[in-house]
Amino acid sequence: MDEITEIYNKLGGIISEDDFRKKVEEKVEQMSGLCDVKTAAMLVAHDLGVTDTAKEVIKIKDINPEIGNVNFVAKVVSVFDVREFNRNDGTIGKVGNLMVADDTGSIRLTLWDERADLIKNGNIEVGDCMEISGYAKDGYSGTEVNIGRYGVINTTDQNIEVRLDSQKISEIRDGMGDINVSGKLLDISDVRTFQKKDGSQGRVGNILIGDETGKIRVTLWDEKVDSTKEMKLDDTIEIINGYARTNNFSQQVEIQIGNHGVLRKTDAEVEYRENFTPIADIIPGESYSIEGSVSGLGELREFDRDDGTTNMVSNIYVSDDTGRIRIALWGDHALLVDELDIDTPIQIIDAYSKAGFNDEIELSAGNRTRITIM
DNA sequence: CCCCCCCC
């Protein structure tokens, strides 16, 4: 590639290469031979608003808002939908986002208007390697790079090695952003709808994922709940660009996936093994999984809640080598009592412990509990 | 931004 083409490629196609070369020749003449062709090309680029053709190419980990204009190469790891919005001057703006990564990390790109069209028209896909020139600023979840009219995003033949800093579940803390994590899909909740503060209807759903270090609840907002449609239990999934918040009710840290996050299936291998607690070790106020055999069966009962709705409950007992405990089965779980026999091997996963009837400790198996009859 | 551990 000659040096004029090299500089031309940083212009993102704002003019044709022929026109660019013509302008470079004119510039050389204009300068009466005072500058070489490369310098002339850079001056023309500058005239066209691209000011940083001479700047060095940097790595993603070194990008921060203080640098301003940045040039780098990266591989596209996720593509988000383009949204249109109304500008104050009455024109319609377009904005789209990409997550890109190199061997030092990942960063979010925001593409505006005609650059956003590259996403909309399907010209940019996951796995594409890109030359990027834009400007870094502080965004919604850390530094992001904006690519507007004079920004550049071109495919390149270079193959870029990617390292997505992947966290282990046990390392996730309240307040973290840009979380990438993989796990086994352990549970998928029903989708709930709710009224947002602005009056519109929101949707929310949860999944539970686990890796070799633990498990964590994931909350999916609005259209992100649809990501689970193609998934089934035991699939390995990955989360890109999630953020962590402590749940006000449970006081447990959860991963949230909003507009900028991705949840998808992956081929990665993830090990998950459920951790079963000996019945004798159970104390009130925690979530537990136990493994044992049925040692008592109660009756199925319907009851009315204070709010007028009805629900079902049944009680069973489960024993292991260390003790025996009562389990309250709520809702659909209650029907299990008719399928169980004494000595049936059983696993009760994620049931909540509390002091129950006669102040004896018991487990509540509610809608977040999974029960496996072995 | 939601769920909210409920029975006898």
Q: What is the pLDDT along chain A (374 residues), one digit of tens a residue?
A: 677 787 777 766 667 788 878 988 888 787 776 677 777 787 777 777 666 666 688 999 999 999 989 999 999 988 888 889 999 899 999 999 998 999 988 888 999 999 999 999 989 988 899 999 999 998 766 789 999 988 999 998 888 988 777 889 999 999 888 899 999 999 999 999 998 888 889 999 999 999 999 999 999 999 999 999 999 999 999 998 899 999 988 889 999 998 888 999 999 889 999 999 999 999 999 999 999 999 999 999 999 888 788 899 999 999 999 999 999 999 999 999 999 999 999 999 999 999 988 889 999 999 999 999 98
Burial zone of A371 (CB within 10 Å; 0-12 exposed, 13-18 middle, 19+ buried): middle
Nucleotide B2's nearest residue (CA vs C1') is: A204
Our measurement of CA A304 to C1' B8, in angstroms, reads 13
Looking at domain A279-373, its CATH superfamily turns out to be: Nucleic acid-binding proteins (2.40.50.140)
Report the pLDDT value the prediction gives residue A158, as an integer from 0 to 100.
87
Our measurement of CA A337 to C1' B4, in angstroms, reads 25
Q: In this structure, what token pair is assigned to residue A43? A: 């001056």
Instruction: Indicate the domain borders of chain A.
Output: 3-155, 169-265, 279-373
Our measurement of CA A48 to C1' B1, in angstroms, reads 44
A194 Cβ nearer than 7 Å to chain B strand: yes
Helix (H) or strand (E) holding A237, with range, is: strand A236-246
Report the pLDDT value the prediction gives residue A196, as an integer from 0 to 100.
86
Q: Measuring from the CA of residue A351 to each C1', which nucleotide is nearest? A: B5
Q: In this structure, what token pair is assigned to residue A62? A: 């070194």
Question: Do A279-373 and A3-155 have the same topology in CATH?
Answer: yes
Report the pLDDT value the prediction gives residue A54, as an integer from 0 to 100.
62
A362 Cβ nearer than 7 Å to chain B strand: yes
Report the pLDDT value the prediction gives residue A33, as an integer from 0 to 100.
66
Cβ pair A315, A333 in contact under 8 A:
no
Q: What angle do CA A366, A370, A373 make, to 5 degrees?
A: 120
Q: What angle do CA A203, A206, A207 make, to 5 degrees?
A: 145
Count Cα atoms within 13 angstroms, Cβ side, for A332.
5
Report the pLDDT value the prediction gives residue A215, as an integer from 0 to 100.
95
Q: What is the CATH number of domain A169-265?
A: 2.40.50.140
Report the pLDDT value the prediction gives residue A268, as an integer from 0 to 100.
86
d(CA A191, CA A206): 8
A93 Cβ nearer than 7 Å to chain B strand: no
Report the pLDDT value the prediction gives residue A1, as an integer from 0 to 100.
64
Which nucleotides in chain B lie less than 7 Å from some protein C-beta? 1-8
d(CA A211, CA A185): 9
Q: In this structure, what token pair is assigned to residue A108? A: 């979010």
User: Residue A322's CB: how many other CB atoms inside 10 A?
Assistant: 14
Q: In this structure, what token pair is assigned to residue A187? A: 């549970």
Indicate whether this model's pTM tops 0.85: no
Cβ pair A96, A157 in contact under 8 A:
no
Q: Which of A327, A349, A331, A192 is nearest to A275 (CA)?
A: A349
Q: List beta partners, residue A129.
A: A75
d(CA A331, CA A367): 8
CATH architecture under which domain A3-155 falls: Beta Barrel (2.40)
d(CA A38, CA A127): 32
A252 Cβ nearer than 7 Å to chain B strand: no
Our measurement of CA A252 to C1' B5, in angstroms, reads 15
Q: Measuring from the CA of residue A194 to each C1', which nucleotide is nearest? A: B2
Report the pLDDT value the prediction gives residue A276, as an integer from 0 to 100.
96
